[in-house]
Homo-oligomer: A and B are copies of this chain.
Amino acid sequence: MQVIETPQAMQDFARDARAQGRSIGLVPTMGYFHEGHLSLMRASAAENDITITSLFVNPTQFGAHEDLDKYPRDVERDCDLARGAGVDIMFTPTNEMMYPPGYRTYIRVEEWSDMLCGVTRPIHFRGVATVCCKLFNICIPRRAYFGLKDAQQCLIIKKMVEDLNLDVEIKPMPLVREADGLAMSSRNVYLSEAERRDALRISQALFMARDMIAAGETSAAAIRGAMRDHIEQSPLAKIDYIETVDSRTLASADTVKPGVLIAAAVFFGPTRLIDNIIVEG
């Protein structure tokens, strides 16, 4: 596995590879890999001639009071894990390379960036869309892989690609959970033992929603209410949102049916966790 640091060297490599007819798969990450990341890398390695993983804790997607500075980092361990997952190139630019002095260009997927996670994190998806467009231009992938834990992110990136005519296929991949159900996240490392235990209520609430739907419940309000009750039984949990929306348009869904995204964001202390399910047909 090769490590490439500068955008210019990465783009030169990618351009040459594409000119030789080799397909590139890209897995954009902020590092501190867990099984969710590795599942994306393996999927890319299986489908493409070359797999690039970018490791960049993107400052433009963090708000002023968020966890940019303490976001967990372990590049050496990440390199070992990526190598094992079949990654060919690790792209590790610095902030200064990605956003040099005088940087001033931003991409917004309007309306969709202001909903769900965008309410609490108003600049988040602008930063995500911008850095993903940059990474697509630098790495010139044929396919790019994103985990469905960030369902809104997947939708926004897919929309940006479609709207800006970017020549890349977005592959949304299944959310990966811990054995007890908690959605895997690099941020789980922030949780105290008690928070880690109570955080389980998020996935439990989503599985409960799934059971209610299987039993015939169609009222989105009833489902959201039951989820809220379950999560609020933990005194450590502070709900940011519980929403039911169409998974293709983000339009609010009053009736739960196949294709509806049930998404939750919950704070445990300063740590904000998200999780979701999409109602199956």
Contact = CB atoms under 8 A, between A and B. Distances in A.
A202 interface: no
A258 to B, nearest CB: 21
B137 A15 contact: no
Contacts of A138: 165
A209 to B, nearest CB: 28
Most chain B Cβ neighbours within 10 Å, of A19, A106, A138, A160: A106
23 contacts: A11-B165, A11-B167, A15-B167, A18-B19, A19-B19, A102-B249, A104-B109, A104-B110, A104-B111, A104-B112, A104-B159, A105-B110, A105-B159, A107-B107, A108-B108, A130-B164, A134-B163, A134-B164, A134-B165, A137-B164, A137-B167, A138-B165, A140-B167
Interface string A122-141: 00000001100110011010
Contacts of A111: 104
Given A19-B21, A108-B108, 20 more contacts: A11-B165, A15-B167, A19-B19, A102-B249, A104-B109, A105-B108, A105-B109, A105-B110, A105-B129, A105-B160, A105-B163, A105-B164, A106-B107, A106-B108, A107-B164, A134-B163, A134-B165, A137-B164, A137-B165, A137-B167
A7 B162 CA distance: 11
Contacts of A137: 164-167
Nearest to A129: B105
Sorting the interface of chain A by its residue count into under 10, 10 to 19, 20 to 34 or 35 or more gives 20 to 34
Nearest to A160: B105
Nearest to A98: B165
Nearest to A103: B163
Stoichiometry, as copies per complex, reads 2
Contacts of A106: 107-108, 110
Contacts of A109: 104-105
A105 B188 CA distance: 32
Contacts of A167: 11, 15, 137, 140
Contacts of A102: 249
Interface string A213-249: 0000000000000000000000000000000000001
A127 to B, nearest CB: 13
A249 to B, nearest CB: 8
Nearest to A248: B102
A5 to B, nearest CB: 14
A58 to B, nearest CB: 14
A110 B37 CA distance: 33
A108 B163 CA distance: 15
B163 A104 contact: yes
